[in-house]
Structure 1
Amino acid sequence: MTQTCESHNALPIEIQHSALLQLLANSLVLSQTAPYLSCYDVLNLAATARAFRFLVYHTPDVFRRLDLGNVKTAQFEIDSLDRGGETWRNVQLDENVTEDDFYSGPLRGIFSSLRRLDILRDVQVLSLDGLSVTADLVHDILIDPSFSVRILSLRGVKNMNERKLRGALQYACRESRPEGMPRLKGLYLFGPKDTTLSPAPREESRSPSPTSPGRTSAAWNNQSQKALTAAPAEEPEAWYVRRGDQFPARISPEWGSTLVACAGVIAFDSVLCTGPRHFNSPAWGTVNIEALNAASSAAETNVPHFAVATHSLGGCASCGAAPEGWTVWGEEATPRRDSEGRRTNGSCVPDLARFPLLAPPPMHSANIRVAMLPTGQTLRSRLPFIPKGKQEKARFIPRCFDCIRDRYCSGCHKWWCESCYIGPRASSPGGVPGLHSGPDSVSNPFPSTGVASVNDSIFAACKIRDGVCADGTCSLQQT
């Protein structure tokens, strides 16, 4: 390939220009290539000649995926409005400028330019990771008809008022919303920004002009070669492969009700916890919540009705499953049941709420199911030519921290479900209604009053101590 690139660069500039134009005139080649290029490279290509400018600005797929995270004009370098002093002497502001206008100024300027060029409506996958983004700007993306964004990434953004953002999302997903609104179907919000490789220094071109066809052609050849040879370090896929905590930062409990309000309308890079303590769980009503609370070591046992899942788990270390069952890609939701085991009406959860968005956002599609698709799986539940049971299932158990407290090892990710293990304050024998015994179960610690007897011997049957396996068998001991 290197020899081919060298021979191509040896051709006259006019021939290189024509060959590149003919290649990119193929809409399939252009749509598959453009997402891998930065905005800087695409705009440089459009500046080389009128033919390239027409090709770039009149092909919708070129700007279908737009990542502004590395755009210099989108950066916000002022830390705070309250700093004052020398910072403010270098900034000219109108008296009517609001705080939102100030923090979202760089992005609003870019969107205004894209709107004038009539390409803002072509953007369907928009990444604003690490930039200064306000809740009012997100509100505009949700309701402004000039935006056609279907997948939005806001990971690691600055100056975001989460309370106002939750209000904007709930308002956009209200039952009385206009038909077809909001256009946004997926929101990356809780996860970390994608890691990128450090760009290699660019080779000098034979042409002195930075926007000449020869320089552009050589740069594209260089980019193609690096894309084929460079292999970035891949982390295990979130949720389905990587077990344990999925997010670097704490998630506010108020986000649980927001995910409920957006269920079936907007998907997130997390899902609701399905533990039996929550109303949305298929196992709600099948375990004794009071007994679990009494056996917990936490002083505060007031678990919210809905919570955002932060951990991905495998099967219970004793029974290999969980009271609520698995979340399996391609399978229908497990219907909710009442305390007597009967199905409840309207219990099936839509796919937009069951499966999380997987990072990074899709390169060549704005389909929300493509953004959720686990590696090695298909959009359809099972390929027709693969026998049933032969295709490996992608599955996980989503839980919040409150539902794995005292029952999860942060070292080896082993855990015990509510049916097999009650909690660390279990001490006296008996039977707890609603808790089923497992092969490694702990007898009910409560007398008829339902109150646990707390003493020094109650920790003898603990499964977890100080966050790791109490028996010392954890593969990664706590340091």
Structure 2
Amino acid sequence: MTSKAISELIWATPQVFKRVDLSSRSDLTGPIYNNEAAERASHHLSIYNYFYQLRSKNKLQSISIMILDRLPVPEGLLRWILEGLNVRLLSIRGIKTLDPRTVILSLLSPSHPISKLKGLYYFGPPDDPPIDHATTVSCHSTRDSTGIMSSPGAQLGARASMPGEKSTSLSGNVGWYDGNGTVPLPLLDQYSPWEDVIHACAGIIAFDIITCRHCLMRARERRTVPRLATISLKGCKICGSCPEGPAFVGKSPESHLPLLAPVPLYSSTVRVAQIPPSEALSHVSLIARCHRCLRDRWCLNCNAWWCESCYTPPEKVTNGEGSLQAGSSNGSIKVHLGLCVENCLVAELYSGVGEGGMWG
């Protein structure tokens, strides 16, 4: 049993409550009521009721990192967290019943209070539940079993490490920096109209997704909204880079880099949340684009691509008889039917001969 002196020290130290993870609380799935009387009469513990308990301990203002993955977070609670608390990094991944776009946009309005929020995890998959608990420090209060310290979802420490150190888990990180194609973003398809929000929040709030920087260059010329980057690339097959230049960890603006999972243990700064683990990559640069900017220049199979400076795909033009023919190009065709001509397309053609494939 924890000694009374240690318990008093923990409860009297605001820094202890800097990071709270409620994603493992399976009991916070009760119904949401419109009045407190019905809430108290319910046999289920809702997330609203739980936050009432935390507020009674006067510790919510010390929390700067909050993880609410998979929980039924209503819009009203999200607005209260962002406007009333000092949360700087918030994770609400895996929540399919909430679309926080309107809340985020209202925070950018001059008529609303300035939120402390600097980073939002929303699009990526939630972290896997921890398996090894041997190094987890479990702190329990002897005064109240419903306190935040006694909650199995309150992850207040994991192992001895320097402040700002990130977990070695590679979940959610490799997809951005391995350069192997589409990054797994489960909620992007369901909540696709996010381009305006991400673009408006550039330099204000960072997300676990970024705007396509090449698309941003074109959007400025055409006065359109840039699309979101969902494809990780290794660099042009000819020059090894890209016209907009790679983004570099620790050097490029925060809006050029995504937040990486897992959420940092100690530091609530965006810079720390954007640092990939050294085990996941051999370099610290990032090239990511949207599908539109890779049309006719990216191989769906091997992920090879050719940038605008090195290759211009032939344009399809209509001749006088109404049929299509290839237009001008600054080199031979690199990509056809979504496959690179020199490798993947040839292999596909040969593999289909006599087997019911393209030539069977």
Aligned residue among 433, 450, 454 for 2:324: 454
Alpha carbons of 1:467 and 1:74: their partners in 2 closer, same or farther (altered >3 Å)? farther
- 8 Å CA contact 1:426–1:446 kept in 2: the answer is no
Equivalent residue for 1:60, pick from 5, 9, 14? 14
Residue 272 of structure 1 deviates from its aligned partner by 0.9
Whether the 8 Å contact between 2:24 and 2:129 is mirrored in structure 1 is no
Q: Distance in 2 between matches of 1:368 and 1:472?
A: 40
Establish whether residue 114 from structure 1 lines up as the match of residue 114 from structure 2.
no
Answering whether residue 341 of structure 2 is matched by residue 470 of structure 1, we say yes
Q: Which residue of 2 aligns with 1:320?
A: 240
Percent of aligned pairs with the same amino acid: 31
Judge conservation of contact 1:411–1:475 (CA < 8 Å) in 2: no
Q: TM-score, normalised by structure 2?
A: 0.71
Query: Contact (CA 8 Å) 1:197, 1:232: kept in 2 or not?
Result: no
* Distance of 1:414 and 1:284 partners within structure 2: 27
Matching residue within 235, 240, 255 for 1:353: 255
Structure 2 contact 335–341 (Cα < 8 Å) conserved = yes
CA, structure 1 residues 234+374, in 2 after alignment: closer, same or farther (shift >3 Å)? Answer: closer
Kindly state the Cα deviation for residue 318 of structure 1 after the two structures are TM-superposed.
2.2
Q: How many residues align?
A: 311
Please tell me whether Structure 1 or Structure 2 has the larger radius of gyration of its CA atoms.
Answer: 1
Partner of 1:267: 206
Q: Taking structure 1 as reference, are residues 283 and 106 closer, same or farther at Cα in structure 2, changes over 3 Å only?
A: closer
Residue 307 of structure 1: which of 218, 221, 227 is its match? 227
How far off its partner does 1:271 sit? 1.3
Inter-partner Cα distance in structure 2 for 1:270 and 1:234 = 17
Structure-2 separation of matches of 1:224 and 1:151: 20
* Conserved? CA contact 2:231–2:288, under 8 Å: yes
For residues 426 and 97 of structure 1, do their structure 2 counterparts lie closer, same or farther at Cα, with a shift above 3 Å needed? farther
Residue deviations 1:41-73 (CA, integer Å, cap 9, x gap) = xxxxxxx44334313322223221111011132
Contact preservation (8 Å) 2:63, 2:86: yes
> Does residue 1:400 correspond to 2:290, yes or no?
yes
Preserved contact between residue 318 and residue 325 of structure 2 (Cα < 8 Å): no
Counterpart of 1:247, as a letter, is P
TM-score by length of 1: 0.55
**Residue in structure 2 matched with residue 331 of structure 1 by the alignment:** 251
Q: Return the offset for 1:239.
A: 2.3
Query: Are 1:257 and 2:196 an aligned pair?
Result: yes
SS of alignment partner, residue 229 of structure 2: coil
Instruction: For 1:360 and 1:95, locate their aligned partners in 2 and report how far apart those are by CA, in whole Å.
Output: 36
**Structure 1 portions without partners, runs of 5+:** 1-16, 18-47, 79-90, 202-210, 217-222, 226-230, 290-302, 333-350, 378-391, 428-444
User: Unmatched 5+ residue regions in structure 2?
Assistant: 135-143, 145-149, 151-157, 161-166, 352-356
Which amino acid is the alignment partner of residue 126 of structure 1? M
Structure 1 residue 177 displacement after superposition? 4.8
Q: In the alignment, does 2:133 pair up with 1:195?
A: no
Paired residues of 2:182 and 2:230 also in contact (CA < 8 A) = yes
Q: Which residue of 1 aligns with 2:74?
A: 134
Q: What's the secondary structure of 1:322's corresponding residue?
A: coil
